[in-house]
């Protein structure tokens, strides 16, 4: 197999220590890279006074990494700015939180150039290059401009927004057009891919033939390829001392009460406020359930430099405080709200001890927590997953209780139903979901994407298409 060079904003090896708060990408990519003996290139997370392009090479958790430092202005404009304050909210359908600023766009272009310039000397002619996520959309084009004809793939970990939202972004045409420099673009679901196709056919005049977008003499394969869990590694936590200790600790402290668990990065896309409100609704309308359950919400802060994240933190503090103030008794706290991360084995134990897994984002590319919850259950006595229909995961995990997170009543009903679901139904639903989690795991995902990236013939061998008239 050709060597793989993965490029993403951050490089975080997948065996972080205690309290590591790793995104789904970190967990998934490390597994893919270890198998392909590749290099993972990205930002170190460190700042430097002046950009030098100096690369630090390391080996972390069996993965070769190559990282660069960025200037403070890069971090502010590209990362905190265009990535986290413009694209992230826009791609999660939150136009109300989307901040548009020319400095952000300028910083984004500059850092994508810096990435291209710095990674270029590492690239050999036969390398497959796999770029990840919304931080680095123009990188493929930047590499093409430097003469690289390698097979280039891009995977979008977030949703792709509807065209009516996308056009709110100044420079949207150039940005999307730059994506068509890749040979393969991967999406988690058909829905995100369909939105992308709608944009490129409507606004760029691209032409779809089967899975291929044809534009300006190039072809790009648009692949639906849902990311999976490293289920083998995650399920190996079963029976480890750390998993058992976490499970027992939670069960002991629950004193016979049912545990409803949520595990999320503290992010407005995850629907945490709505979740708390639904839980409040449940306690209000079902007084018989009070004292018989509690909600354990684990949500380590993320992107604390961005105001909207400070706001959500304040909102959740106030909501959880309000619910506890209203309903708690001397020996019952209805919401346990924990702002820290846990090691993978501990998370496994926490999921396993919980009768209900609440995964209720307002919008989520995939959501790996849903898959982790399923993987951690005891198949003989599994808990129930309550899952938002707006998470990409709901396509594969359709045996969950699928809810609309905007409706507190829907969600409260689903929690109540989950709590009283008969064992046979729980087992049936769980078995269907576990099959998908195990069969369509992270190895399946990366193998599918890499096969698509490897398979295609070089683009320059294809007859150029006369699309000039359909260009904007
Ligand atoms: P994220 O938005 O980060 O990823 P998600 O898929 O839910 O979301 O992954 C979160 C990961 O972080 C999970 O593996 C989870 O276990 C871990 N995590 C969360 N809270 C934790 C805690 N308290 N302690 C330890 N670990 C914790 C983006 C997209 C998603 C997409 C992934 C992968 O937004 O939609 O599923 O990329 O493509």
Tell me the best of 272, 354, 368, 388 to mutate to test the pocket of ligand 1, counting ligand atoms within 8 Å of each CB and taking the most: 368
Domains defined for the chain, CATH in brackets: 4-228+444-455 (3.40.50.2000), 235-439 (3.40.50.2000)
User: Residue 420 in contact with residue 394, Cβ under 8 Å?
Assistant: no
What does the pLDDT read at residue 468?
34
pLDDT band at 118 (very low <50, low <70, confident <90, very high): very high
Distance 142 CA to ligand 1 centre (A): 29
Q: Is the model's pLDDT at 427 over the cut of 60?
A: yes
**Residue located via tokens 């000039």:** 468
Looking at residue 86, the DSSP 8-state letter turns out to be I
Task: Name residue, tokens 């359709």.
Answer: 398
- What is the three-class DSSP state of 382? coil
The encoded tokens of residue 96 equal 């109300």
pLDDT at 458: 52
Report the candidate in 184, 154, 235, 149 with the shortest Cα–Cα distance to residue 437. 235
Among 183, 267, 364, 441, the active-site one is 364
Taking the CA of residue 343 as reference, the ligand 1 atom at the shortest distance is 25
* Residue labelled with tokens 């409803």: 260
List CB contacts of 316: < 8 A, sequence separation 6 or more: 266, 272, 273, 276, 297, 299, 337
Q: DSSP H helical segments within 160-213, as ranges? A: 163-166, 172-179, 190-203
Length of the chain measured in residues: 472
Backbone angles phi, psi at 112, to 5 degrees: -65, -35
Look at residue 17 and tell me whether its pLDDT is greater than 60.
Answer: no
| CA gap 317, 309 in Å, rounded | 12
Minimal CA–CA distance to 160: which of 364, 446, 309, 23? 364
Give ligand 1 pocket residues (Cβ under 6 A): 21-25, 27, 157-158, 227, 263-265, 298, 300, 341-342, 347, 364-369, 372
pLDDT (tens digit per residue) in 245-269: 999 999 999 999 999 999 999 999 9
Q: How far, in Å, is the centroid of ligand 1 from the Cα of 366?
A: 9
Vertex 73: Cα angle to 67 and 77 (nearest 5): 95
Nearest to 169 by CA among 269, 80, 85, 74: 85
What DSSP string describes 26-44?
HHHHHHHHHHHT-EEEEEE
pLDDT of res. 18: 36
Q: In this structure, are residues 7 and 152 in contact, taking their beta carbons and an 8 Å threshold? A: no
On average, the pLDDT of the chain sits at 92
- Nearest-CA residue for atom 24 of ligand 1: 341
Task: Give pLDDT, residue 14.
Answer: 55
3-class secondary-structure state, position 427? helix
The one catalytic residue among 92, 132, 135, 157 = 157
| 368-411 pLDDT per residue, tens | 999 999 999 999 999 999 999 999 999 999 999 999 999 999 99
Alpha-carbon distance of 144 to 174, in angstroms, equals 15
Please state, as a whole number, how many other Cβ atoms lie within 10 Å of the Cβ of residue 96.
7
Sorting pLDDT into bands at 50, 70 and 90, what band is 25? low
Task: Judge contact between 442 and 34, C-beta under 8 A.
Answer: no
**Which of 17, 20, 24, when mutated, tests ligand 1's pocket best, judged by the most ligand atoms within 8 Å of its CB?**
24
pTM summary value = 0.93
Q: Which atom of ligand 1 is nearest to the CA of 342?
A: 24
State the Cα torsion 33-184-129-226 to the nearest 10°. Answer: -20
Q: What is the pLDDT of residues 447-458, one digit of tens each?
A: 899 999 998 755
β partners of residue 214: 207, 219
Q: Is 429 left (phi over 0), alpha (psi -120 to 50) or beta?
A: alpha
Q: Which residues pair with 456 in a beta bridge?
A: none
| Residue 278 burial by Cβ neighbours in a 10 Å radius (0-12, 13-18, 19+) | buried
- For 39-75, how does the pLDDT look when each residue is reduced to its tens digit (9 = 90+)? 999 999 999 999 999 999 999 888 899 999 999 999 9
Residue 23 has pLDDT above 60, yes or no: no
């Amino acid at each position: 197999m050709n060597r793989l060079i993965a490029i993403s904003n951050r490089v975080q090896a997948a065996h972080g220590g205690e309290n590591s708060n790793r995104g789904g990408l970190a967990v998934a990519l490390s597994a893919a890279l270890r198998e392909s003996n590749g290099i993972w290139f990205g930002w170190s997370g460190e700042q430097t006074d002046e950009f030098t392009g100096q690369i630090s090479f390391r080996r972390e958790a069996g993965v070769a990494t190559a990282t660069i430092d960025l200037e403070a202005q890069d971090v502010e404009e590209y990362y905190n700015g265009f990535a986290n304050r413009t694209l992230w909210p826009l791609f999660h359908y939150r136009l109300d939180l989307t901040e548009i600023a020319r400095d952000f766009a300028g910083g984004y272009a500059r850092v994508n150039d810096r990435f291209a310039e710095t990674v270029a000397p590492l690239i050999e002619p036969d390398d497959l290059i796999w770029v990840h996520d919304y931080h680095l959309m123009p990188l493929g084009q930047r590499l093409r401009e430097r003469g690289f004809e390698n097979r280039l793939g891009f995977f979008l970990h977030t949703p792709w927004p509807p065209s009516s939202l996308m056009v709110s972004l100044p420079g949207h045409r150039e940005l999307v057009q730059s994506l068509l420099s890749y040979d393969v673009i991967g999406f988690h679901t058909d829905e995100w891919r369909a939105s992308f196709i709608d944009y490129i056919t409507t606004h760029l005049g691209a032409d779809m033939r089967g899975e291929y977008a044809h534009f300006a003499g190039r072809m790009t394969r648009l692949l639906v390829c849902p990311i999976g869990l490293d289920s083998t590694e995650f399920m190996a936590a079963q029976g480890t001392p750390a998993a058992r200790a976490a499970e027992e600790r939670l069960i002991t402290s629950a004193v016979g009460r049912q545990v409803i668990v949520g595990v999320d990065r503290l992010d407005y896309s995850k629907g945490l406020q709505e979740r708390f409100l639904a839980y409040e609704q449940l306690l209000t309308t079902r007084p018989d359930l009070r004292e018989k359950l509690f909600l354990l919400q684990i949500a380590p802060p993320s992107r604390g430099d961005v105001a909207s994240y400070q706001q959500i933190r304040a909102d959740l503090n106030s909501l959880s405080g309000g619910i506890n103030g209203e309903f708690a008794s001397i020996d019952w706290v209805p919401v346990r709200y924990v702002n820290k991360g846990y090691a993978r084995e501990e998370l496994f134990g926490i999921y396993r001890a919980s009768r209900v897994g609440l995964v209720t984002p307002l919008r989520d590319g995939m959501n790996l927590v849903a898959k982790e919850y399923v993987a951690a259950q005891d198949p003989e006595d599994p808990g129930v997953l309550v899952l938002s229909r707006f998470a990409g995961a709901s396509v594969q995990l359709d045996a969950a209780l699928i809810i609309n997170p905007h409706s507190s009543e829907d969600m409260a009903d689903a929690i109540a139903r989950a709590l009283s679901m008969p064992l046979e139904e729980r087992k049936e639903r769980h078995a269907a979901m576990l099959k998908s989690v195990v069969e369509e795991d992270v190895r399946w995902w990366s193998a599918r994407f890499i096969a698509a990236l490897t398979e295609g013939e070089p683009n320059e061998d294809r007859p150029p298409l006369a699309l000039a008239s359909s260009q904007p």
